[in-house]
Amino acid sequence: MRKKKILVACGTAIATSTVVARKISELLAAKGYSVNIDQCRSAEVPGKLHGVDLIVTTTQAPLNGTGAIPVIQTISFLTGVGMEADIEKIISFIKE
């Protein structure tokens, strides 16, 4: 079975998406899940969708052409508030 791929998007793809991607990776690993995570700027989302199973974004992302790819828009991985609920949402998508 191939690893699921998560695309993490933020405004500039520098600090925020790095923090979020690392936190998602750590939390999923602690629960026994291994995924591939890519990062990009929100504006780049439409061009980065090949093979993506889930999009996690900290800002409004252009979602044209995302089709059936689920999107979670959240800042919980930055604030800590609601993080466990968002990890459970991510797991529900990557388990399918």
Whichever domain contains 84, its CATH number is: 3.40.50.2300
Structural domain boundaries, residue 55: 5-94
For the segment 23-73, what is each residue's pLDDT rounded down to a tens digit?
999 999 999 999 999 999 988 988 999 999 999 999 876 676 678 899 999
pTM: 0.92
Domain count, the chain: 1
Which of 6, 10, 61, 94 is catalytic? The answer is 10
What integer pLDDT is reported at residue 4 of this predicted model?
96
Strands 54-57 and 5-10: parallel
Is 40 one of the annotated active-site residues of the chain? no
- DSSP designation for 2: P
- Tell me if 69 sits within 8 A of 54, measured CB to CB: yes
